[in-house]
Amino acid sequence: MENLIRFEKLLDEIKSRADGEKRLIVGIAGPPGSGKSTLADDLADCIGTSAAVLPMDGFHLDNETLRQRGLLNRKGAPETFDAQSFVELVRALKQQSSLTYPTFDREEDRTVPDGGRIDAGSKIVLVEGNYLLLDSPPWSELAKLFDMTVKLTVGRSELERRLIERWVNHGLSASAATERAQENDVRNADLVSTHSRSSDFIYVGD
């Protein structure tokens, strides 16, 4: 049974589960445009220096690889990520006190190797991404690695509005942004909605 939870309660729940010795790994999942990054950043800000955010975005396959595979127009779909390397990194969080991870430069539309770092003092790691609860391998391997999972849900019409607005903000016309969102982002959002496992909590925005 998934429990609805608001920000302050979620913050308290995470703090209460962090015992100071074993690193707590929290998976924050949801469709594109649902607000995962904002939630993870806000939680980390409130927790302080003992918390770190690990985004999934740095595991995008590079554009040339996607072009060779005929997947460039589907960038952002599950098959356009190096999912196995992502799973291995999350697994390493339980075994290594410090590690680096790739980040994603949206302006340059490319990944940055070793662009981020998790230090020994990061006792709470907030992992955020679209496909953390996906029920197909290798994504499904994440189930046993998270100590706690949170799912964000947004009404379809609002989600579509956000996804279209995102492309408009990237310089596309309203019609081009709508087409881009419908052909890729909304398809990915539907996949998340229909093929994700249950989470411990469903986040309800304030």
**Over the stretch 3-20, which tens digit does the pLDDT of each residue have?**
899 999 999 999 999 976
Task: Give me the residue spans of the domains in the chain.
Answer: 3-154+199-203
**Total Cβ atoms within 10 A of residue 125:** 22
Question: Is-contact 54 116, C-beta < 8 A?
Answer: yes
**Over the stretch 69-116, which tens digit does the pLDDT of each residue have?**
999 989 999 999 999 999 999 999 999 999 999 999 988 889 999 999
Superfamily of domain 3-154+199-203 in CATH is P-loop containing nucleotide triphosphate hydrolases (3.40.50.300)
% the chain with pLDDT above 70: 98
pTM for the model: 0.93
Average pLDDT over residues 151-169: 90
